[in-house]
Chains A and B, each alone.
Chain A
């Protein structure tokens, strides 16, 4: 339990290692001066510098000093701890020492990048000195090992959720797949022929869905929502609720199921794969699970009333509408026919609900702008244009765009093909968007589009059309309930925010919760599957050992000091983390506080209220903070 030796009594030997960061730090902080000053601090055994402390030779410096017994506490002064705290802790482990004898001083993000001149060097010195003061008071800690269930819960039965489910199940992990509708396939099921290969979305969805439905290790919970969440990595509890059909919005689509063959695995166009019987009554269940993968996906942006004439003119439709029309009335002919109208001329408008710019585009009801690019619409639109030009050669197609973003493999070819197919491209600036109005000149074409075409030096063009198709972007699905329950970070774009886009792209700060697919950002099917498999591999690695190691930063009671007031128990914010237990001390039965580490959040709410200073958070003690403050005010 708590250390019997007071830190002051033993001579701690702190090694301080200061990084140049190849100029990132040393351009503004005199690293050698910092080294010279901190070397004189009592308790500092050695202070060294390196061009890249995080590099192999840099880490080797530290490990050598540890192995030689020169130091037994380590302070590294470098970039933000989020980048390299783990790097140095693991170097300490490799040197055979306890990784928690480590303290980090952030002298890049919080010094060299924001301060200049001598004061930067002075501040860096004080921060290193404060870190040293803490390091002296650090004690070795052991990670808390908890058993991890070989079970994953995946929320969302779209392409990403199904991909992750199959991956994990094939890997030998039990999976619960939760889907709010009666169908698997998500947004992909609402598409037809995919860009750029024209593969059928229905076939891809059916392929994965049949693997999901028939896999012995996957349990599909359709018509199900997540209602409750608790626990910690390896041992989560997810409360779910199954809804009977009466209470959900999928009745219409269910009617399309042949009542005779109302069986799983049937693909319903523009709905998905029916995954089995709909619950007849509401039912609540709790799933015990080791990890959670969020695959909650996206929805299509809905244009506001009057946006490019949407909701105002019946001839203005979205790309989703067009795709469905093309799929359902795929007869060919000289002219495309939509809603009974022969289309001689049509306009496609890009970036509707995407790449919105403050001051130019109006915010939505909740004050949001979709400033991001929706990534998939350019190719989807070009694909549709090509299909139309190739199937209905008399239908003229105009594309109004800002930038054509055919970035992926085979996509530039779509763009080239569209030019060959004599699709007419008109390029507009965001501040001079095309205007859709009623055509006052002739009855032949109901609508008129006016735009300034940059491709012809800003010439004003007017295009009379029968149909306007809006390439609507995507928005994340509404999952605020899950976000609140699991305390997930959301970016300014309203998509879920990963820990770091390159270091930990599919992870969330809550250990054991991962991201898959478009809940993170707009993606096409392949990218969503890539993200899903990427999340699955992290989950598999986490569960493959059968246990998880948790940070040891939990409350710790000094039984000698505790006199059982129970103030900490009252202040505790986590059910089950602290309780008063009866024990015998010096032959007397007394009440003392006891911590259950797996439930302790390590917030320290108990620390502030203890009248005896008998409880502290390991690795973040009050005494350490007081010592840091002393170092900062030291003259």
Chain B
């Protein structure tokens, strides 16, 4: 496939099925525009993804990842805590590989958090425009 119109660095959004994903739909219902370089994947809980998944994404050329979790509203008790701990480990691994840790954001977005959603995607979009695509040299597992 051609690179097409979306030339800017791509942002991967992992949006939880119960909170952030309907939240993104709510932004759509309000017809509020945001950058097109955003790709929302519906997840049951981001706790599913192992550390290497994030690093692999950067290796594949994803410029930024926003995890939009349910935060305190998480329907899986304990999942958010486990996720937060994992993301800390990912940050550590990112530093080791000289990756700007701002490329990975852990946030919580509710079903009607339109403004918070827009702020997150716009901030990330501005950031990756500023710092460019990631360069991952060291190989990762997986």
Contact = CB atoms under 8 A, between A and B. Distances in A.
Same complex for A and B? Answer: yes
Given A110-B24, A118-B5, A605-B79, A130 B39 contact: yes
Given A126-B6, A625-B49, A633-B62, A571 B44 contact: no
Interface string A102-116: 000010111001111
B92 to A, nearest CB: 16
A234 interface: no
A126 B37 CA distance: 10
B125 to A, nearest CB: 13
A113 B86 CA distance: 34
A605 B34 contact: no
B48 A629 contact: no
A630 B28 CA distance: 25
A630 to B, nearest CB: 7
Contacts of B43: 620, 625
B79 A114 contact: no
Given A119-B6, A604-B44, 4 more contacts: A113-B28, A113-B31, A115-B33, A573-B79
Contact of B3 (A37, A601, A635): A635
Contact of B47 (A41, A113, A603, A625): A603
A601 B44 CA distance: 10
B76 A628 contact: no
Given A80-B25, A605-B76, A126 B39 contact: yes
A629 B60 contact: yes
A485 to B, nearest CB: 11
B48 A634 contact: no
Given A119-B6, A489-B111, A626 B56 contact: yes
A550 to B, nearest CB: 14
Given A116-B33, A492-B112, A573-B77, A622 B53 contact: yes
A109 B29 contact: yes
Given A110-B24, A114-B33, A122-B5, A608 B60 contact: no
B4 A607 contact: no
13 contacts: A41-B1, A81-B42, A106-B40, A109-B25, A110-B24, A110-B28, A123-B6, A130-B41, A603-B44, A605-B45, A605-B78, A617-B44, A625-B53
Nearest to A625: B41
Contacts of B48: 603-605, 607-608, 617, 620, 622, 625
Interface of A: 37, 41, 80-82, 106, 108-110, 113-123, 125-127, 129-130, 487, 489, 492, 509, 553, 571, 573-574, 601-605, 607-609, 617, 620, 622, 625-626, 628-630, 632-635
A632 B25 CA distance: 20
Contacts of A634: 1
Contacts of A487: 75
B39 A127 contact: yes
A622 B48 CA distance: 8
B78 A633 contact: no
Nearest to B75: A487
Contacts of A115: 33, 36
B2 interface: yes
A635 B1 contact: yes
A121 B6 CA distance: 10
A632 B76 contact: no
Contact of B1 (A37, A123, A509): A37
Contacts of B10: 632-633
A458 B49 CA distance: 63
B24 A122 contact: no
Contact of B4 (A110, A125, A492, A630): A125
Nearest to B118: A114
Interface string B4-44: 11100010100000100010110111011110100111111
Interface string B43-66: 111011111010011001110000
For the complex of A and B, the 10 pairs showing the least CB-CB separation, nearest first, are: A604-B48, A109-B28, A122-B4, A603-B76, A109-B25, A113-B28, A119-B36, A603-B45, A608-B50, A119-B5
B39 A609 contact: no
Q: By DSSP majority rule, is chain A's interface helix, strand, loop, or mixed?
A: helix
A628 B62 CA distance: 12
Contacts of A121: 5
B57 A114 contact: no
Contact of A626 (B44, B53, B78): B53
B78 A573 contact: yes
Nearest to A553: B44
B82 interface: yes
A130 B47 CA distance: 21
Given A113-B28, A114-B28, A604-B45, A571 B75 contact: no
B49 A622 contact: yes
A625 B46 CA distance: 11
A321 B57 CA distance: 64
Given A492-B112, A509-B18, A633-B60, A608 B47 contact: yes
A447 B2 CA distance: 77
A609 B79 CA distance: 13
A294 B81 CA distance: 29
B141 to A, nearest CB: 10
B70 to A, nearest CB: 10
Contacts of B27: 109, 114
A116 B5 CA distance: 12
Contacts of A573: 76-79, 82
Contacts of A622: 48-50, 53
A117 to B, nearest CB: 8
Most chain B CB within a 10 A radius of its CB, from A121, A603, A622, A635: A603
A629 B44 contact: no
A574 B5 CA distance: 44
B86 to A, nearest CB: 7
B2 to A, nearest CB: 7
A604 B50 CA distance: 10
A635 to B, nearest CB: 5
A207 to B, nearest CB: 40
Contact of A629 (B12, B47, B50, B75): B12
A634 B43 CA distance: 21
Given A129-B1, A632-B39, A110 B49 contact: no
Nearest to A83: B25
Nearest to B27: A114
- Specify which of B1, B2, B12 lies most central, judged by the most chain A CB atoms within 10 Å of its CB: B1
Contact of A605 (B2, B28, B82): B82
Contact of B24 (A109, A123, A625): A109
B86 A108 contact: no
B34 A632 contact: no
